[in-house]
Amino acid sequence: MDELERIRARKMQELMRRKSQAAGRYMPDSPIEVTDNDFESLIQEYPLLVVDCWATWCGPCRMLAPVIDDLARDYAGRVVFGKLDVDENPRTAMNFGIMSVPTLLVIKDGKLVGQIVGAVPRDYIESKLREHM
């Protein structure tokens, strides 16, 4: 059942992306799924994107997940948050030299401008975001 929900969510995201391209930019209020296949297009689509590189087996990643969800909602319209499972998407993880999870990639205008490693407090993430807003 979980796999079916993931497929539905992925299809809905793709539908929303297509709709946003036709009617202006869509700025989601929850984290979007990021994959090796769509990483490059997403960093071009969103001016400020924070990608949470995580793994299902990672305890600190699970601790950080609700913080990322809250930040996505609170910063909707200004920052887009994405989630990249490093086990399912090794190419992107390798391209950025990710050796530890969780790692947050801060990407502005298609360029990596910051990296946050570890399950850090929300205040710390927000201070890093303010540097790029």
CA-wise closest residue to 51 among 3, 111, 121 = 111
Q: Which two tokens stand for residue 107?
A: 């990407």
**pLDDT number for residue 11:** 74
Tell if the pTM clears 0.85, that is, is over it: no
Q: What type of residue sits at position 25?
A: R
Active site residue 58: yes
Cis check for the bond before 60: say yes or no (omega within 30 of 0): no
Q: Are 64 and 73 a contacting pair, CB within 8 Å?
A: no
Catalytic residue, from 58, 80, 86, 106: name it. Answer: 58
pLDDT band at 25 (very low <50, low <70, confident <90, very high): low
**pLDDT number for residue 8:** 76
Catalytic residue, from 61, 71, 101, 107: name it. Answer: 61
Q: Which two tokens stand for residue 78?
A: 């200004």
Active site residue 53: no
| 118 has a pLDDT exceeding 80 | yes
CATH superfamily of 27-130: Glutaredoxin (3.40.30.10)
**pLDDT number for residue 22:** 43
